[in-house]
A and B are shown apart, each in its own frame.
Chain A
């Protein structure tokens, strides 16, 4: 009778040690009052921390949701044709194409982003040349704008969107498509009523794997962004590492977690979650 429980022990321990305990620590820390000098924190049930942090940083939170959402939509729009093409027309070179998709991502995350900073610099290789040719006004810039941040997020998280989509599209039974055509479906109808519904679990997985990390991202904004588009990840990182404000950082992390969960549940309700686990 005990066997099933024993078998779940490794997973249970994993969950407890690496997920549940850190979560409780974070929540508890958000209610404590910390001394910046000693790093010592005392439980004071300081619920006001949430209100204070939210009043200081709610706009940054909304910016994060907006940017991560925009980047995810862009990624879905770019990835779908790629994944579709590789799955349906990749032939025996499928693995090669997938590898091509991933090769740029063998380079470190930060380096890739910094190189974009270099490329998009006001007087850099692209903008500098265009300005020199008077095709752009002198004060035109891409860096330090929200567009640059969203583009950076979209670029950096593309594989996390493309791969789950590819898996979903790849496993569609071609005979179902043939059947659709046999029943006089146009190509557009076949796509809308057969392919798309069958890839919804993949779309959901892609959404999760892109939106959630993008929501907490703190690199792209710092490297590519400016003053008016700080994301909440940057604020949390600064709270923990630069200002040693552990309570404030924890409170913001807890809020971010809540926002991410809300988004996920809303999305799951909207699109259904029947076969999600197959893709995650």
Chain B
């Protein structure tokens, strides 16, 4: 997307219907649903006997105790020159085992970054940090990255387990953040989060085996490729594509729509069309030929496509639309180095840093201006991009022109949002429909 487009979007005019972006993959659980948990806290004493810990979530939810996150609180915080950043695997620039964008940050600020990749799934990671948060202890991370399409981000916000951001340390964000990630529906006013990357759940296919994939999600249901088709095991992803297949908008779907979608997906399975329901490993199976068509995350396919060995892997954004999600940086409560965390998060809103990340990553860039850096790099970014070029093997202009990185109108229009569960019962209903499919017998 060019800067010009960005302005149009911000002005809510022209080709981009703002409602498309509004609430793209909103967090899935309303505060109301969560408040029922407050009653649960009363049972904590009894439950302790049975080994299950009650919650310590503040009734009233989002306002953390002790004035954490207020301007006065932030004014008292100091830089510690270290920060613990927990991210997803393969999600940042790499050069010979190091991360150039992080190294530049350390050089510039003197803040050492302990970069780890502990997050491979939202719920399991949430389950790991939750006991610390309930005990009001440091989780070990100052910055974590959570997806808006999965319940934990909403849990963290509703339970007051995220530190409200320091408004005074968001200079780059305010200046450079794109319209897609500014003031998103899942975190109005960016009170708690800044986007790390976004992406689509679309369809990946091997063009040497599937020369004519068409333009529809029907390719995932094509008997011609029976046994060679991969679907995702995540119930949100699976259910959503079932709804798209029926031409139903996932965000506004009803429980009876879900049953219909489950029927279609069950049929797809009993017809022997689906090879397996995959997590992140689908990309390996797509690469080694075990499957030839699969639900896929946009960046994975683009990254693989760059490698000459997997040139045949292509991405299809179907006419029914593709689910769009955003991974968000946030600071868990009781973080030891919140000010360092703020500095780091805001640093990634410099076009230079994002350009370096995107050259490796190829997910949707939250900073539209990074496109210009990729086309005409200068300064440290130029050096870093140049050093990375041999291992990536393509000019930076290729990334700048990729519609999956800087979305075109077609991609924006195709974006669909996930359903937002309004209660625990709805989440259970969804899971009870789609989980048994992925775990079929």
CB-based contact A40/B431 at 8 Å: no
Taking the complex as formed, is B78 at the interface, i.e. its CB lies under 8 A from any CB of chain A? no
What is the CA–CA distance of A143 and B57 in the complex, to the nearest angstrom?
45
How long is the Cα–Cα vector from A39 to B130 in the complex, in angstroms? 9
B441 contacts A39, CB within 8 Å? no
A21, A29, A36, A39: the one contacting B424 at CB < 8 Å is A36
* A-side contacts of B37, CB under 8 Å: 35, 37-38, 40
Residues in A whose Cβ lies below 8 Å from that of B130: 38-39
Q: Given the complex, which residues of B lie within 8 Å of A213, measured CB to CB?
A: none
Q: Are A40 and B55 in contact (CB under 8 A)?
A: yes
CB–CB A241/B50 < 8 A = no
Specify which chain A residues have a CB less than 8 angstroms from the CB of B435 in the assembled complex.
56, 238, 243
With a cutoff of 8 Å between Cβ atoms, the chain A residues found around residue B440 in the complex are 59-60, 227-228, 230
Question: In the bound complex, how far is the Cα of B235 from the Cα of A164, in angstroms?
Answer: 43
A149 → chain B closest CB, angstroms: 11
Evaluate contact between A57 and B436: CB separation under 8 angstroms: yes
Question: In the bound complex, do residue B43 and residue A123 qualify as a contact, i.e. CB atoms below 8 Å apart?
Answer: no
For residue A39, which residues in chain B have a CB less than 8 angstroms away from its CB? 52-53, 55, 127, 130, 134
B427 at the interface (CB under 8 A from A): yes
Q: Given the complex, which residues of A lie within 8 Å of B50, measured CB to CB? A: 24-25, 28-29, 32, 41, 43
The proximity string for A residues 48-65 relative to B, scoring 1 for CB distances below 8 Å and 0 otherwise, is 000010001101101100
Q: Does chain B have a CB within 8 A of A68?
A: no
- Number of contacting residues on A, CB 8 A? 46
Complex: how many Å from CA A225 to CA B219?
Answer: 23
Residues of chain B within 8 A (CB-CB) of A38 are 34, 37, 40-41, 54-55, 57, 130, 134, 155, 159
Specify which chain B residues have a CB less than 8 angstroms from the CB of A225 in the assembled complex: 276
Instruction: List residues of chain A with CB within 8 A of the CB of B107.
Output: none
Chain A residues closer than 8 Å to B47, beta-carbon distance: 32, 40-43
Binary CB contact string for chain B from 423 to 441 against chain A (1 if under 8 A, 0 otherwise): 0100100011001101111
Quick check: A244 and B441 within 8 Å, CB to CB? no
Contact B41 A144 (CB under 8 A): no
B137 proximal to A (CB < 8 A)? no
Rounded to whole angstroms, the CA-CA distance of A143 and B227 in the bound complex is 11
CA distance A57 to B424 in the complex (A): 21
Question: Is A245 part of the contact surface with B, judged by Cβ < 8 Å?
Answer: yes
- Report whether A242 and B123 are in contact in the complex, using a CB–CB cutoff of 8 Å: yes
Shortest beta-carbon distance from A272 to chain B in Å:
34
Q: Is A141 an interface residue (CB 8 A)?
A: yes
Q: Of the candidates A25, A234, A246, which one forms a contact with B439 in the assembled complex, judged by CB atoms under 8 Å apart?
A: A234
Question: In the docked arrangement, what's the CA distance between A43 and B47, Å?
Answer: 8
B290:A42 contact, CB within 8 angstroms: no
**In this assembly, does B151 line the interface, its C-beta being within 8 Å of a C-beta of chain A?**
yes
Assess whether B55 is in contact with A241, with CB atoms less than 8 Å apart. Answer: no
Given contacts A35-B36, A243-B431, contact A227 B159 (CB under 8 A): no
Contact with A along B401-441 (1 / 0, CB 8 A): 00000000000000000000000100100011001101111
Q: In angstroms, how far is the closest chain B Cβ from the Cβ of A91?
A: 46
Interface residues of B in 130-174 (CB under 8 A from A): 130, 134, 151, 154-155, 158-159
With CB as the reference atom, state the residue of chain B lying closest to A24. B50
User: What are the residues of chain B within 8 A of A238 when measuring CB–CB?
Assistant: 435, 439
Interface of B is mostly: helix
Bits for B279-304, please: 1 = Cβ < 8 Å to A, else 0. 00000000011100000000000000
- Is the pair B439, A42 in contact by a Cβ cutoff of 8 Å? no
Closest chain-A Cβ to B147's Cβ sits at a distance in Å of 14
Give the contacting residue for B121; candidates A230, A235, A242; CB below 8 A: A242
Residues facing B in A1-51 (CB within 8 A) are 21, 24-25, 28-29, 32, 34-43
A36 contacts which chain B residues (CB < 8 A)?
123, 151, 424, 427
Supposing A29-B50, A235-B439 touch, asked if A40 and B290 sit within 8 A by C-beta, the answer is no
Cα separation A32 to B40 with both chains bound (whole Å): 11
The residue from A25, A62, A123, A234 contacting B289, defined by CB atoms under 8 A apart: A123
- Taking a contact as CB atoms under 8 Å apart, the answer to whether A122 and B52 are in contact is no
Contact, CB under 8 Å: A40 / B427: no
- Whether the pair B424, A35 counts as a contact (CB closer than 8 A) is yes
Complex-state Cα separation, A227 to B432, whole angstroms = 17
Which residues on B sit within 8 Å (CB–CB) of A60?
439-441
Contact with B along A95-129 (1 / 0, CB 8 A): 00000000000000000000000000111100000
| Contact call A121/B288, Cβ cutoff below 8 A | yes
Nearest A residue to B57 by beta-carbon distance?
A: A38
Pick the residue among B52, B227, B228 that contacts A41 (CB under 8 A). B52
B236 to chain A, nearest CB (A): 11
Q: Do B40 and A122 touch (CB < 8 A)?
A: no
Contact in complex: A37, B29 (CB < 8 Å): yes
A92 within 8 A of B: no
B11 CB contacts on chain A under 8 angstroms? none
> Please, which residues of chain A bring their CB within 8 A of the CB of B424?
35-37
Give Cα distance in the complex from A62 to B134, angstroms: 39
* B68, chain A: closest CB distance, angstroms: 19
B124 on interface, CB distance cutoff 8 Å: yes
Contacting residues of chain A (151-170) with chain B, CB-CB under 8 angstroms: none
* Min C-beta distance of B20 to chain A, whole Å: 28
Kindly state the separation between the CA atoms of A82 and B57 in the bound complex, as whole angstroms: 59
**Residues of A contacting B119 with CB < 8 Å?**
none
- List chain B residues, Cβ under 8 A from A123: 288-290
**In chain A between 238 and 256, which residues have their CB closer than 8 angstroms to a CB of chain B?**
238, 241-246
Contact, CB under 8 Å: B269 / A243: no
Contact A244 B123 (CB under 8 A): yes
Question: Considering the chains assembled together, what is the distance between the CA atoms of A188 and B289 in angstroms?
Answer: 50
Does B46 touch A at the CB level, under 8 Å? yes
Bound-complex Cα distance A139 to B290 (A): 9
A228, B269: Cβ atoms closer than 8 Å: yes
Residues of B158-204 contacting chain A, CB below 8 A: 158-159
Among B29, B290, B427, which residue has its beta carbon within 8 angstroms of that of A122?
B290
In the complex, B274 has a CB within 8 A of chain A = yes
Q: Name B40's contact: one of A42, A234, A242 (CB within 8 Å).
A: A42
CB within 8 Å for A32 and B52 given contacts A39-B127, A122-B288, A243-B123: yes
Tell which of A35, A122, A235 has the most Cβ of chain B within 10 Å: A35
Known: A37-B155, A40-B41, A40-B52; 11 extra A-B contacts, CB below 8 A, are A28-B50, A32-B47, A38-B55, A38-B155, A39-B55, A39-B134, A41-B52, A43-B43, A60-B439, A141-B290, A238-B439
7 A-B pairs within 8 Å (CB atoms) are namely: A29-B50, A35-B424, A40-B54, A56-B436, A60-B439, A121-B288, A243-B435
* 4 closest A-B pairs by CB: A38-B55, A59-B441, A40-B40, A37-B155
